[in-house]
Structure 1
Amino acid sequence: MSTDRENNGSQVIARAATLLRALEHQPAGMTISALSRQVELPRTTVHRLVASLESQQLLIVSAGEVKLGPALARLAASAHTDVIALSRPAMEALGRRTRETVDLCVWRGSHAVSVSQFVSDRELRVVSAVGTAFPCHCTAHGKAILAQLSNQQISEMLAGHLDLRTEQTLRTLPAILQDVEQVRASHYAIDREEHARGVCGLGVYIKTRVNEHYAISLAVPAIRFDEEFDHLLSALLQCKAETEALLAG
């Protein structure tokens, strides 16, 4: 009897994991019916699993769409506590040097998820909640991470519909790959109002000893991005060197 219960429990966990993986690349969410077809499980089974996962905040259901829940962002943050803690001094120093918001993000599928932040003290500033998932192709930290992947990986990951956030968002895969080549050459990435109007970003990849992809970025109001660019880039590259030195131990 205990073996039967263990097998049933393992099956439930496996099915729940299948749902979470199916939603990983669907930031806009999916209906129960679409999710059922995607994972090839009965609709009643999916509905029951979604209800259980929603009760633990692993999923949320809004306007009939099922999406990944806030508990996953918290779990992602706790799983990377060492990187977060060790990078914090350099992030705070960068924030004081530039007086702009600093974000540490980790790669998750086609998105970069914010796991730590130092908020600007300026009246006009850019702030997003920790746990926010940013599309990689239209953000500085996301493009810094994409530059570490092969063009084939990027093409497979971004195949299909691209999330178009503003008029400046790159709309085709060739344009994105060309931009990523520039990131590889310069070792930093730029977002000029591609993710949000009035907001620019500057990001760099962070080398760690863990099997994850991290990036640190500055979120800057567009009105002062160009005039302060040289200072922002210099300070960000210094933060990268300091962070990687700390992580290297």
Structure 2
Amino acid sequence: MSVLHRATLILDALAESRRPLTVSELATRTGLARSSAHRVLQSLEEERLVVRSPETVGYVLGPGLLKFGMGSHLRLLAANRSHLAVLAREVNENVDLAVFSGREVVVVDQIASPARLRGVTKVGQSFSLHGSCIGKALLAQLPDARVRELLEGPLRAFTPATITDVDRLVAQVDEVRRTGVAVDREEHDRGIAAVATAYLGPTGALQAVSVVMASHLLAEKWDLAVGSLARLPGATVDVAAARAQRALAGAR
């Protein structure tokens, strides 16, 4: 295993953790020997890619990563902006662009329709993987074993419609793989629905794009939203299969 691979394992583990991790915890999570994990951490710390937590024992991601993240973020936005704008005009609803952020998904860009919802989502806002269509769309790009790993632990119910049973979620993710479309019908916020798809974007990043609307408009806008998402470069939406999923989602 190369030094770069070991460093990547460490950084991924820290990114997915909700708290600082000790050397022993990182060794356990990555499968590295404790001595190897410690050597990699020392090198990463020298470059400020990781830092010791000021609040408790353990390591967290460091400011040295910003120089990589900022450039990548700007390329991601530039590569997708025009496509998001076209989609927003077609559906006349808010359109969000999102990517993985550890065990969550974060909105990195948005085209807001002037006549539609305001304040439901915003750039920089994080959502759970299980309680959002952008999260489930991204999970559908991963193998089941990884999906179950990311869904470990108690899952929060944001509304009565939130699915918190892992087996049900895995089955739903499998359906998303078949159709290319994920649905959120008031699973995160009452009165709000969304339809999303995920794919490898023009920068090589795994990304999700969603159309967000008032839930009472889901039936009316379903075909338009799905058809517009299907036209995104790189998207693999099975429009015919998604029509059947519409009924399963309750969009009648």
- TM-score, normalised to structure 2, is 0.67
**Per the alignment, do residues 74 and 102 of structure 1 end up closer, same or farther by CA in structure 2, a change over 3 Å counting?**
farther
Maintained 8 Å contact 2:141/2:199: no
Q: Distance in 2 between matches of 1:158 and 1:182?
A: 17
Maintained 8 Å contact 2:195/2:211: yes
Unaligned runs of 5+ in 1: 1-17, 41-57, 62-66
Residue 223 of structure 1, CA deviation: 2.1
Q: Distance in 1 between matches of 2:67 and 2:121?
A: 15
Q: Distance in 2 between matches of 1:75 and 1:131?
A: 17
Task: Tell me which residue corresponds to 1:227.
Answer: 220
Task: Tell me which residue corresponds to 2:98.
Answer: 105
Q: Which AA in structure 1 matches 2:83?
A: A
Tell me the secondary structure at the aligned position of residue 217 of structure 2: helix
Task: Tell me which residue corresponds to 2:234.
Answer: 244
**Per the alignment, do residues 123 and 141 of structure 1 end up closer, same or farther by CA in structure 2, a change over 3 Å counting?**
closer
Task: Tell me which residue corresponds to 1:136.
Answer: 129
Q: Distance in 2 between matches of 1:203 and 1:168?
A: 17
1:144-187 deviation line (CA, Å, top 9, x unaligned): 11111000001111111213211111111100001001101111
Q: Which AA in structure 2 matches 1:244?
A: G
Task: Tell me which residue corresponds to 2:199.
Answer: 206
Task: Tell me which residue corresponds to 1:151.
Answer: 144
Tell me the secondary structure at the aligned position of residue 174 of structure 1: helix
Task: Tell me which residue corresponds to 2:88.
Answer: 95
Task: Tell me which residue corresponds to 1:10.
Answer: none
Alignment equivalent of 2:209, drawn from 206, 216, 220: 216
**Per the alignment, do residues 131 and 231 of structure 1 end up closer, same or farther by CA in structure 2, a change over 3 Å counting?**
same
Maintained 8 Å contact 1:101/1:126: no
**Per the alignment, do residues 209 and 99 of structure 1 end up closer, same or farther by CA in structure 2, a change over 3 Å counting?**
closer
Maintained 8 Å contact 2:199/2:206: yes
Tell me the secondary structure at the aligned position of residue 234 of structure 2: helix
**Per the alignment, do residues 78 and 116 of structure 1 end up closer, same or farther by CA in structure 2, a change over 3 Å counting?**
farther
Q: Distance in 2 between matches of 1:182 and 1:168?
A: 18
1:18-55 deviation line (CA, Å, top 9, x unaligned): 7x8676446xx65x8x9899679xxxxxxxxxxxxxxx
Task: Tell me which residue corresponds to 1:121.
Answer: 114
Q: How many residues align?
A: 215
Alignment equivalent of 1:175, drawn from 168, 173, 180: 168
Residue 192 of structure 1 pairs with residue 192 of structure 2? no
5 Å-filtered alignment, 1:157-168, equals 157-168=150-161
Residue 82 of structure 1 pairs with residue 75 of structure 2? yes
- TM-score, normalised to structure 1, is 0.68
**Per the alignment, do residues 124 and 133 of structure 1 end up closer, same or farther by CA in structure 2, a change over 3 Å counting?**
closer
Q: Which AA in structure 1 matches 2:197?
A: V
Q: Which AA in structure 1 matches 2:234?
A: E
Question: Percent same amino acid at aligned positions?
Answer: 30
CA RMSD of aligned residues (A): 4.0
Tell me the secondary structure at the aligned position of residue 218 of structure 1: strand
Residue 115 of structure 1, CA deviation: 1.0
Residue 139 of structure 1, CA deviation: 1.1
Maintained 8 Å contact 1:106/1:113: yes
Tell me the secondary structure at the aligned position of residue 154 of structure 2: coil
Q: Distance in 1 between matches of 2:117 and 2:202?
A: 36
Unaligned runs of 5+ in 2: 1-9, 28-50, 55-59, 236-252
**Per the alignment, do residues 129 and 230 of structure 1 end up closer, same or farther by CA in structure 2, a change over 3 Å counting?**
same
Maintained 8 Å contact 2:116/2:213: no
